[in-house]
Structure 1
Amino acid sequence: MTFGEVPDERFLLLVYRVPSSTSRARVAVWRELKRMGALYVQQAVCVLPDRPGVRERLGKIRARIGELEGESMHFVLDKVEEQERHMLVTSFKENSAKEYAEIVEECETKFFKEIEFERFRENYTFEEAEEIRQDLEKLKRWLRKVEERDWMGAPGRDVATAKVAECEQLLEAFEADVYERVGGSEQG
C-alpha cells in the first residue's frame, strides 16, 4: 500500500504517568505537550517528530513529570511502517490545519467585527485602538506558535497569515481615523 510522498521521519514517543491525586499536574503536563504540538495516540501517550529542539523541550517536560512524582519513558522510533507514518503525518497536518482555521475564524468573527462595531459606534479613541492592537498582537503570537509546531506543512498557513495581515491593515486604517479625529485634541 502506498500513500504518496510522506517524509521518512523519525519520531519520539513519550509514555508517562502523573499521580492521579490532583488533576492540576496532569493538565499542566498535557497543556505543555500540546503547546509543543504533541500528537496524542491515547491518554498519556504522545508522539512528536524528532526535530531540533524537541528532545530538549521533551527533557524539560520529563523532568517536570519527575518533580510531580510521576514517571515517563521516552523512545526514539527510527523505523515506522509506511502506513503508520502516513497516519502520523496526516494527523499532525490535520491538527495544524485546524489551528490555522481557528485563527482565520477568530479574525473574521471577532477582530473584523470589533473594528466594524467601533466604527459603527464612532468610538474613535486611543484607548479603543490600543485595546484592538493588543488583540492583534495576541493573534500574531498565536499564529507564530502554530507555525512553530506545524511540523508537516499543513494547509491553511497562507490563508491564516493573510487574514492576520488583513487584521493589521484594518487596524492601521482605524488608528489613522482615530488620529485624525482626536489626535490633535489630545495634545496640549
Structure 2
Amino acid sequence: MKWIIFIYKVPPQPTKYRAYLWRELKKFGAIYLQDGVCLLPDSDDVHLFIGALGEKVREFGGQESTFLSSTFAAEKDQEMVDQFNLARTDEYNELIPAIERLHSYFEEEELWEFDDEQLRKIREEFQKLLKQFQAIEARDYFEAETGRKVRVRIDRLRKQLQSL
C-alpha cells in the first residue's frame, strides 16, 4: 500500500495557522503520526489537497515536505488502516444521537402526524445529519464497518421522511 506522509512546521504565532492546518487535515481524514507529521493514503485527490496545503504552509512562513512511502510491512499497513478506521468510527458514532433523536420522532408521533413546522424542522435536521455523514464518508478511505451501519440507519430515516 502507498502512503503520503506530509510534514510541516509553521511559526508558533499566530496560532490560527496551526489551527487552520489542523482543521483542513482533519477534514480530509489525515491521521497524525506525531506533531506536524500526517499520513494519508495515496490518491490523486490527496496529492491535489497536499499540494494546495503545502502552498498554504509556505504562505504562512513555514516549511513542508511530502513523501510517498510504500515501505510499510503488511502488518504496519494494517495498523495504519485500523487507525484510519478507528478515527472514522469515532466520527460516525458522534452521529448516532442525532439519528436516534430523529428516529424517536417517528416512534413517538402517533401515525406520524406532523404539522408543517414540525416536518420542516425534522427535514432540516435530517439534511444537516446527511451532510455530516457525507463529509465523514468522503474521508472514510477504508470503509469502516460503522459507516455501513450508519448508512443503513440514515437510509431508513430517508425512507420514513419520503413517506410523509
TM range (shorter): 0.7 to 0.9
**2:94 corresponds to which residue?**
102
**1:35 corresponds to which residue?**
27
Cα distance change of structure 1 residues 69 and 128 upon mapping to structure 2, 3 Å threshold: farther
**2:161 corresponds to which residue?**
171
**1:20 corresponds to which residue?**
12
**Structure 1 residue 114: deviation in Å?**
5.3
Letter in 2 for 1:83: E
Query: Aligned partners of 1:106, 1:132: CA distance in 2, in Å?
Result: 11
**2:133 corresponds to which residue?**
143
**Structure 1 residue 76: deviation in Å?**
0.7
Per the alignment, in what secondary structure is the counterpart of residue 72 of structure 1? Answer: strand
Cα distance change of structure 1 residues 114 and 26 upon mapping to structure 2, 3 Å threshold: farther
Cα distance change of structure 1 residues 124 and 23 upon mapping to structure 2, 3 Å threshold: same
Q: Is the 8 A contact 1:97 1:157 kept in 2?
A: yes
* 1:87 aligned to which of 72, 76, 79: 79
Which has more radius of gyration?
1
Matched-pair identity in %: 25
RMSD of the alignment, in Å?
2.2
Q: TM-score, normalised by structure 2?
A: 0.87
Displaced runs of 4 or more, over 3 A: 113-117, 122-125, 169-173
Letter in 2 for 1:111: L
Size of the alignment, in residue pairs?
163
Pairwise mapping of residues 147-162 of structure 1 onto structure 2 (< 5 A)?
147-162=137-152
Query: Aligned partners of 1:71, 1:123: CA distance in 2, in Å?
Result: 59
Query: Aligned partners of 1:113, 1:24: CA distance in 2, in Å?
Result: 40
Is 1:132 aligned with 2:117? no
Of 140-149 and 56-65, deviating more is 140-149
**Structure 1 residue 51: deviation in Å?**
1.5
Q: TM-score, normalised by structure 1?
A: 0.76
Query: Aligned partners of 1:114, 1:18: CA distance in 2, in Å?
Result: 48
Letter in 2 for 1:92: F
**Structure 1 residue 84: deviation in Å?**
2.1
